[in-house]
Structure 1
Amino acid sequence: MTILLYDLVGSDPARPFSPHCWKAAFALAHKGLAFESVPTPFTAVKGVEGGVFGTVPVIRDGERVVGDSFAIALYLEETYPDRPSLFAGEGGKAASRFIERWSQLTVHPFLGAAALMDIHDRLAPEDQAHFRTTREARFGRPIEDVPADRDSHLQGFRAKLEPLRSMLTYQPFIGGDRPLFADYIVAGAFQWLRVISPYKVLADDDPVGVWFERCLDLHGGLGRRVSAAA
């Protein structure tokens, strides 16, 4: 049975952009599981599977409904142990928790602020109103003002990626010789920006960008099925 993945979209249902939904999509593909993306705009999220989670991603696998990208990865690991592992053991789960917190606290804040108006502009009108209200409450200022200083903070953001950049001189993936869920956590963040905004955050020769290109090629080029924003 095909698994359903409720995927956050804007006005174009063929362009899912949520970093967390991309994590789930990469995890499903890593396990070799067939899945169908269910386009879900912001204002429809509260109705997904009865609104039990309130956010996406959410998957339905037969009778099981699971929300939250990390919980989805754990569910897939436990339910399909005969398929390629997302964690390569308990240590991998613990390390992925660290990577997730690092990504949420270091990568997401800059990317989310830098692309804020790009996200808004790609939403349907009813979703734009919701997005503006919630994000202005979060940032405490008009959303138009939030990306205004992104260029002045870009070099600082790039510097924060140095631990990842340095690690990639030793191995091709965060997971080692092959990708694990830890890779999908960070790749999901960069895919978020790639799909929603033309803003360039990585230099052409940045090893992080080279790694991200490798991630886009995984699983039959899953990440490239949605073109980069222009």
Structure 2
Amino acid sequence: MSIVLYELCGADAARPFSPFAWRIRMALKHKGLDFECRPKPFSEIPAIAPEAGKTVPILVDGDRTICDSWAIATYLEDTYPDRPSLFGGEGGRAAAKLIEGWVNASVSSLIAQLIIKDIWDVLGPDDQVYFRETREARFGRSLEEVQSGREDRLAEMGTALLPLHLMLKSQPFIGGEAPLHTDYLLFGTLQWARITSPFQFIDPSLPVGQWRERCLDLFDGFGRSVPAA
């Protein structure tokens, strides 16, 4: 039985955009595992595997169902040790956990405020109602107000990405000469923005922009299989 990955999509099922699911898409490619993607809108996700969780990604591998991108990545590493390592050892696994925390806390939160209304635009009608209600409650403002003036906040994104910018001056990937899961953790978040929003906040001429292009080229251009917004 093929591995099945449930992920998030908007009105167009051919444009899955969950940052967490993209982390696992890349991890599965890294491991060289065959898998089937099943994109679902927000409204259908809670019914997929309620005993495992109510958010994507959800991975089904035989009789195992795993929810949460970090849990899935560690499952893949431990279950398929004969395949290329996602972490490059236990030290790499620990470092990846640090990168995950940095991306989730410092990068994703900034990106969300730059593209929040654009995400709403790509959703189906039912999901638009859910997304507006939940996100406006979270931010305490309308989606339009959150996203307004985003051009003036680009410096904040530059500051958040500065450690990566400095690292990538001397090596092609966060993982070193070749990518590891540390790369996919951030790449998934940038894919989320690339697929849902036309707003450009990464300078392609800078090290981070060049790194993103290298990630898009991985696995025969797998990241480019979904065109940019």
TM range, smaller chain? over 0.9
8 Å contact kept, 2:16–2:39: yes
1:157 — aligned with what? 157
**CA shift digits 1:146-191 (9 cap, x unpaired):** 0002111112211221110110112111011110000000001111
Paired-residue identity, %: 51
Equivalent residue letter for 1:220? D
Paired residue type of 2:189? A
1:141, distance to aligned residue in structure 2 (A): 1.0
Tell me the distance in 2 between the aligned counterparts of 1:131 and 1:141: 13
Structure 1 segments (4+ residues) deviating >2 Å? none
Measure, in 1, the Cα distance between the counterparts of 2:141 and 2:156: 22
The residue aligned with 1:108 is 108
Pairing 1:158-173 to 2, within 5 Å after superposition:
158-173=158-173
Aligned residue number for residue 71 of structure 1: 71
Per the alignment, residue 228 of structure 1 pairs with 228
Aligned 1:128-167 pairs, distance under 5 A: 128-167=128-167
Give the structure 2 partner of residue 97 of structure 1: 97
Shift of 1:143: 1.2
Maintained 8 Å contact 2:115/2:147:
yes
Contact kept? 1:19, 1:191, Cα under 8 Å: yes
Task: Output the CA distance in 2 between the equivalents of 1:204 and 1:130.
Answer: 34
- Whether the aligned pair in 1 keeps the contact of 2:52 and 2:65 (CA below 8 Å) is no
Shift of 1:50: 3.3
Aligned residue pairs, count? 229
Tell me if structure 1 keeps the 8 A contact 2:52–2:66.
Answer: no
What does the per-residue CA deviation read over 1:46-97, in whole Å, with 9 as the maximum and x for residues that have no partner? 1112353011000000111011111101000000000000001110110001
Amino acid at match of 1:97: K
* Structure 1: 5+ residue stretches without partners: none
C-alpha contact (below 8 Å) 2:100/2:182 kept by paired residues: yes
Q: Distance in 1 between matches of 2:202 and 2:220?
A: 24
Secondary structure of residue in 2 paired with 1:115: helix
Structure 2 alignment gaps of length 5 or more: none
SS at match of 2:198: coil
TM-score (norm 1): 0.97
- In the alignment, the residues of structure 2 paired with residue 138 and residue 51 of structure 1 have an alpha-carbon distance, to the nearest angstrom, of 26
What is the distance in 1 between the residues matched to 2:177 and 2:193? Answer: 26
Q: 1:50 to 1:204 in 2, by over 3 A?
A: closer
Label 1:51 to 1:39 Cα distance change in 2 as closer, same or farther (>3 A): farther
TM score, norm. by length of structure 2: 0.98
Measured in 2, the distance between the counterparts of 1:14 and 1:133 equals 25
Residue 22 of structure 1 corresponds to: 22
Cα distance in structure 2, aligned partners of 1:40 and 1:8: 5
Partner-residue secondary structure (3-state), 1:33:
coil
- Alignment correspondent of 1:3: 3
Whether 2:211 is the aligned partner of 1:211: answer yes
For 1:75 and 1:151, the matched residues in 2 are separated by: 40
